[in-house]
Amino acid sequence: MRVLVVADPLATFKTYKDSTFAMMRELQRRGHRLAACEPAQLQWQSGQPVTALLRHIELTGAADDWYRVLHQGREALRDFDAVLMRKDPPFDSEYFYATHLLEQAEREGARVFNRPRALRDHPEKLALMEFGDFAPPTLVTRSPEAIRHFHAEHRDIILKPLDGMGGMGIFRVGPDGMNLGSIVETLNQGGHTSVMVQRYLPEIAAGDKRLLLIGGEAAPFCLARIPQGSEVRGNLAAGGKGVAQPLSERDWAIARAIGPQLAARGLLLVGLDVIGDRVTEINVTSPTCFQEIQQQTGFDAPAMFVDALERALRPEPVSAQTLAV
């Protein structure tokens, strides 16, 4: 099949750890043909299908010049068997507009993963609030007063922007309330910006676990991202150490409760962030950690993903009852 990958510029890929690269490598290994473009190269002209200025590529297996361009041009997204939306956050206005172009491509017959509407309906911080039974006490607000009340109740809290990624803009405020006012001013922008506030989970010392839900099912291993030194953030981008480990019974229970619901909404791949026994974020834009898990455990997460993609693209079987009608 022909697969178009919508992602950041290929030249920026760190192939030794990039999950999108791992997907592409597995797709090519199975004989599927690859093309790539950036969201900025999507185009929709009235009376015409959504197109992209794209490059058909082949992976070389080399560490540096890891792909070669076979040919390039503008093509309609509906002419591909699958379109993978793998643009990294932030989920800004341009990302939002890209999902609208991708949704139009769906109306024209394209199969897009994750589905554009599902991406819009599940912002990565706010999506958690639907599953409050699995989350720590959490507040989303623009009100500095509400944040102060939340701190007074829970004493030790984490504050973060709704559009952050890789641990950006995350603050911890302990029982003494040190710098709470200044932090709120920084994140809240005078009441113009919403802030997520959560009770601090001391289990972060054992790692912020990334669980992969693929086709509604959990991969059997997660990556615990463990804060280093005095850092409160476990994110790999913030210097956390990634340690792969089997899912706990609680992890499995969370995955079984949440995974099928999200898959039914068109989210083929989801990354759950779990601290202790609580889900802290639901990542849907470009979940990662495929290669770290595979390198440390041998579990082939890219193969599990491509298996799920191939299943999603198979025609629905026609029942005998349908034929009779």
pLDDT tens string 242-286: 999 999 999 999 999 999 999 999 999 999 999 999 999 999 999
How far is residue 122's CA from residue 130's CA, in Å, rounded to a whole number? 10
Residue 310: the pLDDT is 98
- Tell me: pLDDT of 60 over 90: yes
Q: pLDDT tens digits for 295-320?
A: 999 999 999 999 999 999 998 765 55
Q: pLDDT tens digits for 94-150?
A: 999 999 999 999 999 999 999 999 999 999 889 999 999 999 999 999 999 999 999
Cβ contact 277:250 at 8 Å: yes
- Tell me: pLDDT of 324 over 80: no
Domains assigned to the chain: 2-114 (3.40.50.20), 137-200 (3.30.1490.20), 203-313 (3.30.470.20)
How many CA atoms within 13 Å lie on the side-chain side of 4? Answer: 29
Three-class SS of residue 260? helix
Active site residue 103: no
Catalytic pick among 55, 115, 210, 278: 210
Active site residue 188: no
Residue 317: the pLDDT is 65
Residue 133 φ/ψ, nearest 5 degrees: -65, -20
Three-class SS of residue 303? helix
Catalytic pick among 115, 225, 251, 292: 225
Element (H, E) at 279: strand 278-283
Cβ contact 210:223 at 8 Å: yes
pTM of the model: 0.93
How far is residue 130's CA from residue 120's CA, in Å, rounded to a whole number? 15
The rounded mean pLDDT for the chain is 94
Active site residue 125: yes
Catalytic pick among 160, 199, 209, 278: 160
Active site residue 209: no
Active site residue 142: no
Active site residue 79: no
Q: How confident is the model at residue 53 (pLDDT cuts 50, 70, 90)?
A: very high
Q: How confident is the model at residue 166 (pLDDT cuts 50, 70, 90)?
A: confident
Catalytic pick among 87, 199, 209, 233: 233
For tokens 């006012």, the residue is: 181
Catalytic pick among 125, 199, 209, 278: 125
User: Which range (227-231, 239-243, 315-319) has the least confidence?
Assistant: 315-319
Active site residue 281: yes
Catalytic pick among 26, 103, 281, 292: 281
- Structure tokens belonging to residue 178: 């040190």
- Tell me: pLDDT of 289 over 90: yes
Q: How confident is the model at residue 168 (pLDDT cuts 50, 70, 90)?
A: confident
Residue 110: the pLDDT is 98
Active site residue 278: no
Catalytic pick among 75, 103, 208, 273: 273
How far is residue 180's CA from residue 297's CA, in Å, rounded to a whole number? 41
Q: How confident is the model at residue 237 (pLDDT cuts 50, 70, 90)?
A: confident
Q: pLDDT tens digits for 170-194?
A: 999 999 999 999 999 999 998 899 9
